[in-house]
């Protein structure tokens, strides 16, 4: 079904190729039009605020919202890019990993649209897109680079030698960094998503008010674990009773929790940069919006002469621009559309080399 209709061809020249990107792996629906692999002609991200009512993403509601939002977003993205549908050369869609129902909606939409237009549909790996999102603003990366992807679903530390050449260094063994932020925020009686709220509150609190663990730093390797830290914060909060807590206490808990997360991410990442002799560090994922993480890495990388490339917040979080970018690079590389394109929920089964 995802084969281009007969007579359809991939864009003739990569410098003018127009790729429509579609992202729907979690709760954000996003559509982008990218020209020549570099010029973002339009980029829309619809946040599904309904999940705030439940303190977390409700998969069924996310799928339904993607279904409702995608046609209108595509229409608007084409308008803003000032193109008509037949000018699209290819469609790039997130096919893995993520919430399977959300992925299925995006993939089915892309396949149907591609078939109707007679255009190829490229399935893009969401994590691979986060690894490279920074190239949209900072241009091509130098290699070897270390990439840290920190989001609500993933904490991945990867050595990148080129587009498509990766060595997985470490992942979280339990909760992702963003998931820990969200769960701690919920425990403290704050809203969802918790990352930006804790980030803001932490500036009013004392990072040394509570002595929380720096998980796994005493162990070799590059894996992470945030579940024990989350429990440590919950226990410290429970010792003070139930929410609502006094604002000063919440700020101290937020600052101390954030200090532990940031310290862990920074120390692990810098040791990967040093051991792999990488001159560049690329960041991606929603947690890369974190002010403390950005500031610490900026200072540490500057002191070591390491180029640090962090996308602006819109390109850190889930977005279709990075999907269009990787789709465009796949076409440059000569990758053919997969006739069996389908949604795949797990990173392990998504086709990326993880060793």
Question: Would you tell me which residues interact with ligand KG4 (CB under 6 A)?
Answer: 26, 151-153, 178, 181-182, 193-196, 199, 285-287, 289-290, 317-318
Q: Which of the choices Zn ion, ligand KG4, none does residue 276 contact, using the CB cut-off of 5 to 8 A by kind?
A: none
Q: Which of the choices Zn ion, ligand KG4, none does residue 31 contact, using the CB cut-off of 5 to 8 A by kind?
A: none
Closer residue to Zn ion (CB): 151 or 258: 151
Closer residue to ligand KG4 (CB): 47 or 83: 47
Residue 237: burial class (beta carbons within 10 Å; 0-12, 13-18, 19+) = buried
Q: Which of the choices Zn ion, ligand KG4, none does residue 207 contact, using the CB cut-off of 5 to 8 A by kind?
A: none
Pairwise CA distance, residues 160 & 280, whole Å: 10
Does residue 287 contact residue 150 with C-beta atoms inside 8 Å? Answer: yes
Cα→Cα distances 286→23, 85, 143, 220, Å: 15, 31, 24, 26
Four-CA torsion 355, 268, 200, 188, nearest 10 degrees: 80
Stretch that binds Zn ion, among 79-87, 266-274, 317-325, 335-343 (CB under 5 A): 317-325
- Cβ-based neighbours of 199, under 8 Å, separated by 6 or more: 258, 289, 290, 291, 292
For the CB of residue 3, give the shortest distance to Zn ion in the complex, in Å.
28
Nearest alpha carbon to residue 171 among 253, 100, 101, 97: 97
- In DSSP terms, 160 is beta-bridged to 145, 166
Closer residue to ligand KG4 (CB): 26 or 107: 26
Q: Which of the choices ligand KG4, Zn ion, none does residue 193 contact, using the CB cut-off of 5 to 8 A by kind?
A: ligand KG4
Beta strand pairing status for 121-125 and 90-96?
parallel
Q: Which of the choices ligand KG4, Zn ion, none does residue 4 contact, using the CB cut-off of 5 to 8 A by kind?
A: none
Exactly one of 77, 318, 324, 326 binds Zn ion (CB under 5 A); that residue is: 318
Closer residue to ligand KG4 (CB): 78 or 198: 198
Nearest alpha carbon to residue 44 among 34, 32, 33: 32
Does residue 298 contact residue 308 with C-beta atoms inside 8 Å? Answer: yes
For the CB of residue 287, give the shortest distance to ligand KG4 in the complex, in Å.
4
Closer residue to ligand KG4 (CB): 11 or 151: 151
* 319 lines the binding site for Zn ion (CB under 5 A): no
Q: Which of the choices ligand KG4, Zn ion, none does residue 97 contact, using the CB cut-off of 5 to 8 A by kind?
A: none
Starting at the edge strand that comes first in sequence, how are the strands of the sheet with 121-125 ordered?
Answer: 39-47, 28-35, 18-23, 90-96, 121-125
Closer residue to ligand KG4 (CB): 194 or 337: 194
* 151 lines the binding site for Zn ion (CB under 5 A): yes
Q: Which of the choices ligand KG4, Zn ion, none does residue 327 contact, using the CB cut-off of 5 to 8 A by kind?
A: none
For the CB of residue 95, give the shortest distance to ligand KG4 in the complex, in Å.
15
Cis peptide before 144 (omega within 30 of 0): yes
Does residue 278 contact residue 231 with C-beta atoms inside 8 Å? Answer: no
Q: Which of the choices ligand KG4, Zn ion, none does residue 290 contact, using the CB cut-off of 5 to 8 A by kind?
A: ligand KG4
Residues contacting Zn ion: total by CB under 5 A: 2
Q: Which of the choices Zn ion, ligand KG4, none does residue 181 contact, using the CB cut-off of 5 to 8 A by kind?
A: ligand KG4
- Cβ-based neighbours of 126, under 8 Å, separated by 6 or more: 23, 25, 94, 96, 97, 98, 318, 323
Sign of CA dihedral 268, 272, 273, 274: positive
* 179 lines the binding site for Zn ion (CB under 5 A): no
For the CB of residue 152, give the shortest distance to ligand KG4 in the complex, in Å.
3
Four-CA torsion 289, 293, 295, 299, nearest 10 degrees: -140
* 28 lines the binding site for Zn ion (CB under 5 A): no
Residue 106: burial class (beta carbons within 10 Å; 0-12, 13-18, 19+) = buried
For the CB of residue 340, give the shortest distance to ligand KG4 in the complex, in Å.
25
> Which residues lie near Zn ion (CB under 5 A)?
151, 318
């Amino acid at each position: 079904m995802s084969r281009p209709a007969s007579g359809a061809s991939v864009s003739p020249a990569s410098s003018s190729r127009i790729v429509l990107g579609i992202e729907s792996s979690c709760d954000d629906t996003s559509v982008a039009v990218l020209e020549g692999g570099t010029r973002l002609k339009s980029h829309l991200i619809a946040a599904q605020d309904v999940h705030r009512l439940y303190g977390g993403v409700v998969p069924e509601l996310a799928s339904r919202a993607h279904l409702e939002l995608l046609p209108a977003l595509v229409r608007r993205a084409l308008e803003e890019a000032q193109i008509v549908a037949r000018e699209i050369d290819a469609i790039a869609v997130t096919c893995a990993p993520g919430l399977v129902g959300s992925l299925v909606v995006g993939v089915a939409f892309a396949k149907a649209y591609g078939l109707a237009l007679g255009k190829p549909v490229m399935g893009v790996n969401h994590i691979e897109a986060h690894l490279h999102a920074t190239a949209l603003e900072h241009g091509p990366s130098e290699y070897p680079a270390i990439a840290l992807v920190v989001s609500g679903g993933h904490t991945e530390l990867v050595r990148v030698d080129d587009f498509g050449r990766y060595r997985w260094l470490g992942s979280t063994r339990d909760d992702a960094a963003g998931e820990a932020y969200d769960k701690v925020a919920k425990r403290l009686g704050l809203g969802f998503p918790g990352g930006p709220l804790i980030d803001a509150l932490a500036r009013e609190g004392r990072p040394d008010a509570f002595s929380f663990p720096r998980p796994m730093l005493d162990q070799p390797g590059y894996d992470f674990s945030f579940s024990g830290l989350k429990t440590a914060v919950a226990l410290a909060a429970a010792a003070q009773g139930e929410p609502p807590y006094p604002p000063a206490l919440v700020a101290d808990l937020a600052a101390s929790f954030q200090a532990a997360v940031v310290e862990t991410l920074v120390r692990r990442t810098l040791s990967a940069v040093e051991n792999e002799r990488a001159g560049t560090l690329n960041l991606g994922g929603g947690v890369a919006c974190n002010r403390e993480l950005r500031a610490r890495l900026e200072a540490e990388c500057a002191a070591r002469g390491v180029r640090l490339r962090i996308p602006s917040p819109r390109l850190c979080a889930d977005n279709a621009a990075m999907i269009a970018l990787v789709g465009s690079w796949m076409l440059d590389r000569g990758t053919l559309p997969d006739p069996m394109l389908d949604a795949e929920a797990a990173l392990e089964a998504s086709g990326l080399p993880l060793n």
